[in-house]
Structure 1
Amino acid sequence: MSVRVRRVYEPPEPDDGVRVLVDRLWPRGLAKDAARVDEWPKALTPSTELRRWYHADEGSYEEFAERYEAELAADEAAELLDHVRDLVRKGDVTLLTASKTPERSHATVLARLLED
């Protein structure tokens, strides 16, 4: 059972397991059937305010990660995080993001929390 992070634009692979889109907005130019997304828990994604703050280069990735983790403590997000943890306990999970740098995105923060 593993958690991995991939760009949603990459073709699905047989070992992806459950494919979870972790972006609030649907990726541009991608047909829903081509993405093969199994789940899309929008409330698990960073708030619009946090996303804008981070993309405006107002803070560091470390500060973004701290703020995002604080958002994940809210009721609805915490419930969805537990749901995805259950998916991880059952098998492989691939977190999908449209981010050009997934290693410095919220998806990596989520993967770390899910692996703990």
Structure 2
Amino acid sequence: MYELRIKRIYDEYEESDGMRILVDALWPRGISKERAHLDLWDKAISPTTSLRKAFNHEVDKYEDFQKQYRQELIENPHTQDFLKMVFDHLEKQPVTLLYGAKDTKHNQAVVLKEFILEEMKCL
């Protein structure tokens, strides 16, 4: 099994990133499709617009954001297909979840990575 990673989309592309998945609902400003080196842009796995706006990347709202986003992932009919795709790719190569937020510790990619890793333990 290869490593599941997270990375800002503004950081330089590295071949070792493996499969690169943008998990933001909105395209990041100032990034061309060529520079992004995306394999997939999965808007369906990102937090809902209302949750994203309520969080507004405010650290004091992060704990509540985590809980609500996890609940969205549980209720999202797309989540199981996304998990299967990630698990399948991790058998062959690293998978890097990409996000645009400036805060590297308090964002949806951090929550999503933890969620995926927890789901992998249940297999």
Deviation at 1:57, TM superposition (A): 4.2
User: Structure 2 vs 1, CA of residues 57 and 34 (structure 1 numbering), >3 Å: closer, same or farther?
Assistant: closer
Q: In the alignment, is the contact (CA less than 8 A) between 2:59 and 2:106 conserved in 1?
A: no
Q: In the alignment, is the contact (CA less than 8 A) between 1:53 and 1:59 conserved in 2?
A: no
Corresponding residue number in structure 1 for 2:15: 14
Counterpart residue type for residue 18 of structure 1: M
Counterpart residue type for residue 86 of structure 2: V
Corresponding residue number in structure 2 for 1:47: 48
Residue range with higher mean Cα deviation, 75-84 or 41-50: 75-84
Counterpart residue type for residue 16 of structure 2: D
| Identity fraction in percent | 37
**Distance in structure 2 (CA, Å) of the matches to 1:76 and 1:7:** 23
Q: In the alignment, is the contact (CA less than 8 A) between 1:12 and 1:35 conserved in 2?
A: yes
TM-score, scaled to structure 2:
0.85
Deviation at 1:85, TM superposition (A): 2.9
Alignment: residue pair count: 116
Residue range with higher mean Cα deviation, 79-88 or 20-29: 79-88
Query: Structure 1: which 4+ aligned runs deviate by more than 3 Å?
Result: 56-59
**Structure 1 vs Structure 2 CA RMSD:** 1.8
TM-score, scaled to structure 1:
0.90
Q: Deviations over 1:13-42 (max 9, x none)?
A: 121010010101111111101110111111
**Distance in structure 2 (CA, Å) of the matches to 1:53 and 1:101:** 16
Counterpart residue type for residue 38 of structure 2: V
Uncovered stretches (5+) of structure 2, i.e. residues with no partner: 119-123
**Distance in structure 2 (CA, Å) of the matches to 1:24 and 1:32:** 15
